[in-house]
Amino acid sequence: MKIKTFIVGIMILSILAVFFSGVAFGSTNSPKIFVDGSQLESDATIINDRVYVPARAVSEALGAKVEWDGEKRIVNISMSDRDNIVPEVVKSVSPSVVGVIGNLKDEVQSDTRFSEQIVHGTGIIIKANGEILTNAHVVKDMERIVVVLSDGNGYEASLRCIDEATDLALIKINKFGLIPVRFAKEEEIVIGKTAIAIGTPVSFSLRNSASIGIISGINRSIGSSYRLIQTDAAINPGNSGGPLVNLEGEVVGINSNKFAAEGIEGMGFSIPVNTINYVLEHFEKNKRVIRPELGAGFEEDWAARVGLPTNNGLSIIDIAMDSSADISGLKVGDVLVSINGKDINTLVDYNEEMKKYMPQDIININIKRDGAEKIIRCALK
């Protein structure tokens, strides 16, 4: 049986972690466990005046790697340092990372940014049958797309699906038996965790280059309609479409853009897994992302535009005739406060919330009008 990472929640085996002499054992509350000053989120269990915690909780808090061999019933805990872990991660993920290169379409060949009329980027294999995910901006202007695998072999690719709003695209090569990436869970994207970017920066000869940093921030909205991950791992032109991975070798995001200006360093951004999964689900079912239309134009308040916290909602500045907004009775000047109970204060908040819905769905919109709040029921188109 393949060795799998031991997962908290389905774990049966526990190890004796620490003795507590000052614990009130008659209490029904679990004791709090601290490792190097940081409290573990995992619950502890008291048995015969001893405190037990899940093996993974303590071990990973100390920087160890925990693996479970279900066939042999063995838990393996290894205290590897980052210098040993990172090469293993890069080695395991690289076969799932590809270079993407192609000629520009005739209508964009006059763009002086591309002197050789050839552009390149990166992609990740998501299915063994040759399906590859990359950025929309990498392939949208390519006339002939070529994918180069980590072994150096090249294959012509076809563009299957594209969604410029999320900057994601699906391409496919005629090759089977490939190694797909593994995606992390959204809750595992935590500020401060190590992040590794793998891609094809600057030159196509630099395929599968790796850079390391941390997850610097989450829920960023710089230059995107949806939330992004911020990282200080080096991301350069050509890294677009490549993976940002954690120390488990799981993809937490797709590298998409960066701030590039004098005096600015370590400001890269990646599309997180929740958006990736949302888009791939639509690609699988519909060959495109289907979004419901409300038919209203919004404006953020000043605080939201400069990035300050705000709870002032979105002002409605335009309503299309015969749209869902028009039919439901929304008016210019209304302030959208929430959708189905979810607070909406920025355009990104609105776009993220609308991921949950499809045309024909009915939503309850809470608005402010003339100083009073009102709920309007709206059927999306």
Annotated catalytic residues are 137, 167, 240
Alpha-carbon distance of 345 to 280, in angstroms, equals: 27
* Nearest Cα residue to 357 out of 284, 292, 298: 292
* Nearest Cα residue to 247 out of 99, 126, 81: 81
Alpha-carbon distance of 44 to 62, in angstroms, equals: 17
* Nearest Cα residue to 322 out of 379, 271, 377: 379
Q: What sign has the CA pseudo-torsion 194, 276, 219, 163? A: positive
* Nearest Cα residue to 222 out of 254, 269, 274: 269
DSSP-assigned letters across all residues of 155-218: EEEEEEEEETTTTEEEEEES--S----EEPPGGG--TT-EEEEEE--SSGGGTTEEEEEEEEEE
Helix (H, G, I), strand (E, B) or coil at 224: coil
Alpha-carbon distance of 18 to 38, in angstroms, equals: 15
Backbone angles phi, psi at 319, to 5 degrees: -135, 125
DSSP E strand boundaries for 36-193? 38-39, 45-47, 50-54, 65-69, 74-78, 97-104, 118-125, 131-134, 142-148, 154-163, 168-173, 182-183
